[in-house]
């Protein structure tokens, strides 16, 4: 558990401006956090490379109670993608086409978010695939052990915020 926290800490420091964050728990490779200033809560994990090393990408599931947004998927890709390249998320046997920017990807709508989270709850891994700016295929992989618990902890962390 401590190793997972040590792996997630640099990710959190690198992905957002310095703000107070409350740890809601570390669950295998997934962490749950609350940012009371915004307020927002999120579950987050780094991608995993071959050999178990942490990758440059991350996956998160966020809740912004004041905006009435709950369970929104966000993926930061490990590489900038080609402008015309599709981004596909594979969760277990399910495939999802994502809306993407240069290095970020999301579900098209709240129904897509809900379908992805439901798939995450019953799968052991997920991966996101695309083509980078050098026309090379790439895959960012994620272990899902602990993801459901982290997603639930993040949702509960913002349950009373209005």
Could you state, in chain order, the average pLDDT of each consecutive group of 10 residues for the chain (162 residues)?
41 46 94 94 91 79 94 97 97 97 97 98 97 96 97 94 68
Burial 89-128 (b: 16+ CB within 10 A, else e): bbbeeeebebebeeeebbbeeeebbebbbebbeebeebeb
135 preceded by a cis bond (ω within 30 of 0) = no
Confidence at residue 16, expressed as pLDDT on a 0 to 100 scale: 45
Task: Give domain limits for the chain.
Answer: 2-157
Dist. CA 32–CA 30, nearest whole Å = 7
Confidence at residue 136, expressed as pLDDT on a 0 to 100 scale: 96
CATH 3.40.50.720 matches 2-157: no
Chain Cα centroid distance, residue 94:
17
Confidence at residue 11, expressed as pLDDT on a 0 to 100 scale: 47
Tallying the residues shown for the chain, one arrives at: 162
Dist. CA 65–CA 158, nearest whole Å = 7
Count CA within 13 A, CB hemisphere, residue 105: 28
Confidence at residue 13, expressed as pLDDT on a 0 to 100 scale: 40
SS (H, E, C) 84-136: CCCEEEEECCEEEEEEECCCEEECCCHHHHHHHHHHHHHCCEEEEEEEECCCC
């Amino acid at each position: 558990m401590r190793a997972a926290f040590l792996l997630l800490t640099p990710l959190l420091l690198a992905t957002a401006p310095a703000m107070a964050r409350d740890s809601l728990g570390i669950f295998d490779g997934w962490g749950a956090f609350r940012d009371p200033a915004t307020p927002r809560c999120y579950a987050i994990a780094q991608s995993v490379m071959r050999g178990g090393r942490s990758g440059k990408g991350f996956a998160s599931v966020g809740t912004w109670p004041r905006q009435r947004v709950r369970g929104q998927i966000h993926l930061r890709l490990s590489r900038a993608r080609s402008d015309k390249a599709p981004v596909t998320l594979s969760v277990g046997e399910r495939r999802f086409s994502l809306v993407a920017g240069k290095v970020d990807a999301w579900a098209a709508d709240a129904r897509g978010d809900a379908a992805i989270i439901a798939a995450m709850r019953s799968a052991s891994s997920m991966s996101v695939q695309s083509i980078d700016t050098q026309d090379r295929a790439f895959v960012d992989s994620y272990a899902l052990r602990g993801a459901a618990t982290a997603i639930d902890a993040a949702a509960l962390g913002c349950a009373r915020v209005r």
